[in-house]
Chain A
Amino acid sequence: MRKLMKNVSHLVLPISVMVLLIIINLVKGADYFTITMINGALYGNIPNILFGASELVILSIGMTLVTAASRGQDISIGESATISSAVFVWFVLRSGEATPVTIIVGFLLSCVVGLGLGAFNGILVSIFKVQPMVASLILFTGGRSIAFMIDGKLSPILANDISNRIGTVIPGIPIQTPVILTVVFIALFAVLLKTTTLRLYVETVGINPNAARLNGINPKKVIFLTFLIMGFCSAVAGFIAVNKAGRHDSVNLLKNIMMDAILAVAIGGNSLGGGTFSITGSIIGAYTIEMLNRTLLRLEIEPAMIKVFKAIFIVILMVVASPVVRDFIKKVLDRNRTRKEE
């Protein structure tokens, strides 16, 4: 029970936002939760959100770790994903016919590339002590062009059955494949956090690198590791995105996704200044952003105005969660508590 309370307390922000959005949607139309079966697969508002947010969820998991350990953000995640997925597409197209083997080998290859790109940023941040945002600015600037060079032409098309199934649905399974992949990925991470001391190390380094060092943790290694994980997350997100799209558009694939990923981390109740983190919060944050986008669409707000509402929404959220307001609330709560004790 105690543990439950602790887990809930930092999720108050993202969950209350989600509840608010659900209420707005229900007011708009009671059919919000309706799910229909089309060609053996489930469709509806909720499945669409789960489907649409897959890449964002995966990327915000990595972003959470990077933020927690290095107290900064990686802004090159969209570019990393584009490059690694370009390698995947290049490999699949080069090997002629797409078989499960080529897809898997291609995917693994793209993961290696993703790890390499993560290492590139990680070395800059951990060894050269460059701020994460500046370090990742490099890949952000040149990344899409590298992807284009790997492609060799504009938007190579992935026209094969397997890719199509990975991007949409596998016949016989009612849930869209990206959703399944995301769930698998989240489970993988849950296992990772359960079977290693990663959380303790990352949080310690993020909160107090000096104390971490004096207790035998090497902050450089931990920060480097989080960037490697970020690279892996980018590769997986790129893989899903390119299979969803069916072609590799190196200019627009996952463009500006880092903004949403950072936002998801913040909405999830995590400090962008590093320290303790909640991956659950970031995941909920990512789905909340997707839900917000679709809610604004559903409210038939002019597509042009969506960004305006999004901006206003973020500002209100951040003001509510801002240190000044939070301190004020804490003061009021403390006063009440001491009164009770007396």
Chain B
Amino acid sequence: MLSETILEMKDISKSFPGVKALDGVDFKLREGEIHALMGENGAGKSTLIKVITGVYEKDAGLITLHGKPIHFRSPQEAQNNGIGTVYQEIMLCPNLTVAENMFIGRSHTPIVNWKEMNEKAARLLDSLGIPASPIQELSTCSIAVQQMIAIARAVDMDCRILILDEPTSSLDEDEVQKLFELMRALKAQGVGIIFITHFLEQVYEISDRITVLRNGKLIGEYKTSSLPQIELISKMLGSELEDISTIRKHEPVASDAGIPVFEAVGLSSAAGVRPFDFTIHKGEVNGFAGLLGSGRSESVRAIFAADKVTGGEVRIHGKRVKIKTPLHAIKHGIGYLPEDRKGDGIIEDLSVRDNIILTLQVLKGLFKPFSLKEAEKFAEEYIKKLNIKTPTSNTPIRSLSGGNQQKVILARWLLTNLEYLILDEPTRGIDVGTKVEIQKLVIRLASGGMSLTFISSEIDEMLRTCSRLIVMKDREIVGELRGTDLTENDVMHMIAQGGKS
């Protein structure tokens, strides 16, 4: 097989305020190969893609395309140079028709020939087996169909490099197979494909080579056939060996005895999680394990009523209560640190102080504001307690690093004196030191009698902190693991086999 290099990236670095997203990463794509780019959340995959396509500007490094150095300033430029991209979020216009979304921004004729465009689109849709009509408005298509349309658009562009950033997360089995057929056909034509996904089976089914990233660093490039699945997972998850010793797993206190702090039966939400049961006891740390999209976040959001709760019963200390809005949950002593720190967590332009006191202030009420002195006292106390690195308590939270922002949100919840705290990916995209600090804090809080749910993409973090793991797959609980001598292997097997272990 031909294996001429099309795209080569050398020593690529990219930083965002407070985070080094890419740190000296090399990457090589050859002609006619499907190259899987693997890594957990925050590993730097999407950043690498966006550096190639000109959405972000790299800080350092060199990119060559067919041996010539390139430097794209806009997605349009990349598109014109034969790089087609399908992004994780669907980058199409919902108010245009299917056919338009496939062809807009590509033609250079001033007139739109609807008939020809619709015919071309119909042919393309038909050949890919996409169940959509060219004249349909995109917003009336399902998300899966929209994703297929985005792929069809990229495929049709006659590109030499096709980048697929998690295109399969919303596709069903049949659709995935169709996509794979298509990828194989393109590969035969010599197109280089970069494929990102969270589904390991898919990687082994389709890819020739795998590049693994972790925490913005290159772990290595491997031939798919010579890298066993379990080894790939361990490379992706890694372990910060040097820090484990400092975290001591805490022994569950009176684990299953007595009345649980929180208990849910048949809970379901509008976000599409299947009805599930859940309990947590005083001083317990448990976790939801599963791959991205398995429903772990949706489950905890249902507990906090962050999404609309559509069914189920909730008891706190054995007493039935109504939790329909986040405010109800907060009033019952539940806290939730959201997965999307920027979209759901921080109030960007407000000061660290205001961000810390926010929820306590809401609980206290509209007519009882804290004086500046009181607020300052709280803020200073927690800045010291959690070791938040900020110039002053008056600094806007937006200028802090990711880890320190996360600590501010933690401080916000700790201040409200809660009984049960849900942490959804508190360690994502933050530096190693802070990750360890947060894990230690979880243990400390549990020893103090607080109940916690801890979710992380890095299984070893959960193993270190949780005494019970609830394993999820396809928006359903498939099993539960407990005990102090759990290993990563146990968890991975259960995830891979869907609870049959």
Highest count of chain A CB atoms <10 Å: which of B325, B359, B362, B412? B362
- Which residue of B338, B344, B349, B412 is within 8 Å of A276 (Cβ)? B349
B348 A208 Cβ-Cβ under 8 A: yes
B349 A2 Cβ-Cβ under 8 A: no
Residue of B nearest to A221 (CB): B366
- Which residue of B306, B325, B350, B392 is within 8 Å of A203 (Cβ)? B350
| Minimum Cβ distance to chain B for residue A316 (Å) | 26
Q: Once the chains are docked, how many angstroms separate the CA of A136 from the CA of B343?
A: 29
A214 B344 Cβ-Cβ under 8 A: yes
Segment with Cβ contacts to B, from A19-27, A56-64, A191-199: A191-199
Q: 5 nearest interchain CB pairs?
A: A216-B327, A216-B362, A197-B369, A216-B330, A215-B359
Chain A 185-220, CB-CB to B under 8 Å as 1, else 0, gives 000000000111110110110011011111111100
Chain B 369-385, CB-CB to A under 8 Å as 1, else 0, gives 10000000000000000
Chain A 271-284, CB-CB to B under 8 Å as 1, else 0, gives 00001100000000
Q: Once the chains are docked, how many angstroms separate the CA of A211 from the CA of B358?
A: 10
B346 A211 Cβ-Cβ under 8 A: yes
Highest count of chain B CB atoms <10 Å: which of A195, A201, A214? A214
Q: Once the chains are docked, how many angstroms separate the CA of A207 from the CA of B325?
A: 20
Residue of A nearest to B371 (CB): A194
- Which residue of A2, A198, A216, A217 is within 8 Å of B394 (Cβ)? A2
B366 A210 Cβ-Cβ under 8 A: no
B350 A276 Cβ-Cβ under 8 A: yes
B344 A200 Cβ-Cβ under 8 A: no
A340 close to B (CB within 8 Å) = no
Residues on A with beta carbons closer than 8 Å to the beta carbon of B326: 213-216
Residues on A with beta carbons closer than 8 Å to the beta carbon of B361: 197, 200
A216 B348 Cβ-Cβ under 8 A: no
A275 B349 Cβ-Cβ under 8 A: yes
Residues on A with beta carbons closer than 8 Å to the beta carbon of B330: 215-216
Residues on A with beta carbons closer than 8 Å to the beta carbon of B358: 200, 204, 215
Residues on B with beta carbons closer than 8 Å to the beta carbon of A6: 394
Q: A2-B392, A215-B358 are in contact. Are A203 and B369 (CB under 8 A)?
A: no
A203 B349 Cβ-Cβ under 8 A: yes
Chain B residues within 8 Å of chain A by Cβ, number: 32
B143 close to A (CB within 8 Å) = no
Q: Give the residues from 232 to 277 in chain A that come closer than 8 angstroms, CB to CB, to chain B.
A: 275-276
Highest count of chain B CB atoms <10 Å: which of A207, A216, A218? A216
B348 A207 Cβ-Cβ under 8 A: yes
Residues on A with beta carbons closer than 8 Å to the beta carbon of B412: 215
Q: Once the chains are docked, how many angstroms separate the CA of A218 from the CA of B330?
A: 13
Can you list 9 A-B pairs, Cβ within 8 angstroms, ordered by A? A200-B354, A207-B348, A211-B343, A214-B338, A214-B344, A215-B326, A215-B362, A216-B330, A216-B359
B347 close to A (CB within 8 Å) = yes
Residue of A nearest to B357 (CB): A200
| Minimum Cβ distance to chain A for residue B300 (Å) | 12
| Minimum Cβ distance to chain A for residue B396 (Å) | 9
A339 close to B (CB within 8 Å) = no
Residues on B with beta carbons closer than 8 Å to the beta carbon of A207: 347-350
A153 close to B (CB within 8 Å) = no
Residues on B with beta carbons closer than 8 Å to the beta carbon of A201: 366
B333 close to A (CB within 8 Å) = no
Chain B 306-338, CB-CB to A under 8 Å as 1, else 0, gives 100000000000000000011100110000101
A196 B348 Cβ-Cβ under 8 A: no
Q: Once the chains are docked, how many angstroms separate the CA of A79 from the CA of B365?
A: 34
Residues on B with beta carbons closer than 8 Å to the beta carbon of A210: 343-344
Q: A214-B326, A217-B362 are in contact. Are A200 and B348 (CB under 8 A)?
A: no
Residues on A with beta carbons closer than 8 Å to the beta carbon of B392: 2
B367 close to A (CB within 8 Å) = yes
| Minimum Cβ distance to chain B for residue A278 (Å) | 12
B344 A195 Cβ-Cβ under 8 A: no
Q: A200-B354, A217-B362 are in contact. Are A211 and B347 (CB under 8 A)?
A: yes
| Minimum Cβ distance to chain A for residue B95 (Å) | 17
- Which residue of A2, A3, A200 is within 8 Å of B369 (Cβ)? A200
Highest count of chain A CB atoms <10 Å: which of B325, B330, B347? B347
- Which residue of A197, A204, A275 is within 8 Å of B366 (Cβ)? A197
Highest count of chain B CB atoms <10 Å: which of A198, A211, A212? A211
Residues on B with beta carbons closer than 8 Å to the beta carbon of A276: 349-350
B366 A196 Cβ-Cβ under 8 A: yes
Residues on A with beta carbons closer than 8 Å to the beta carbon of B394: 2-3, 6
A211 B344 Cβ-Cβ under 8 A: yes
B363 close to A (CB within 8 Å) = yes
B260 close to A (CB within 8 Å) = no
Q: Once the chains are docked, how many angstroms separate the CA of A6 from the CA of B304?
A: 36
| Minimum Cβ distance to chain A for residue B330 (Å) | 5
Residue of A nearest to B306 (CB): A214
Q: Once the chains are docked, how many angstroms separate the CA of A218 from the CA of B365?
A: 13
B347 A204 Cβ-Cβ under 8 A: yes
Q: A216-B327, A218-B327 are in contact. Are A198 and B366 (CB under 8 A)?
A: yes
B367 A195 Cβ-Cβ under 8 A: yes
Q: Once the chains are docked, how many angstroms separate the CA of A214 from the CA of B349?
A: 17
B345 close to A (CB within 8 Å) = yes
Q: Once the chains are docked, how many angstroms separate the CA of A204 from the CA of B330?
A: 17
Q: Once the chains are docked, how many angstroms separate the CA of A116 from the CA of B345?
A: 35
Q: Once the chains are docked, how many angstroms separate the CA of A194 from the CA of B371?
A: 9
| Minimum Cβ distance to chain B for residue A52 (Å) | 33
Residues on B with beta carbons closer than 8 Å to the beta carbon of A2: 392, 394
Residues on A with beta carbons closer than 8 Å to the beta carbon of B365: 197
| Minimum Cβ distance to chain B for residue A276 (Å) | 5
Q: Once the chains are docked, how many angstroms separate the CA of A47 from the CA of B148?
A: 68
Q: Give the residues from 368 to 408 in chain B that come closer than 8 angstroms, CB to CB, to chain A.
A: 368-369, 392, 394
Q: Once the chains are docked, how many angstroms separate the CA of A204 from the CA of B346?
A: 9
Q: Once the chains are docked, how many angstroms separate the CA of A184 from the CA of B366?
A: 23
| Minimum Cβ distance to chain B for residue A198 (Å) | 7
Residues on B with beta carbons closer than 8 Å to the beta carbon of A275: 349
Given A200-B361, A211-B344, A218-B327; 12 other pairs, CB 8 A cutoff: A195-B369, A197-B366, A197-B369, A200-B358, A200-B369, A201-B366, A207-B348, A208-B348, A214-B345, A215-B330, A275-B349, A276-B349
| Minimum Cβ distance to chain B for residue A196 (Å) | 5
| Minimum Cβ distance to chain B for residue A208 (Å) | 5
Residue of B nearest to A274 (CB): B349
Chain B 30-63, CB-CB to A under 8 Å as 1, else 0, gives 0000000000000000000000000000000000
| Minimum Cβ distance to chain B for residue A11 (Å) | 16
B369 A196 Cβ-Cβ under 8 A: yes
Residues on A with beta carbons closer than 8 Å to the beta carbon of B325: 213, 216, 218
Q: Once the chains are docked, how many angstroms separate the CA of A276 from the CA of B396?
A: 11
Chain B 178-198, CB-CB to A under 8 Å as 1, else 0, gives 000000000000000000000
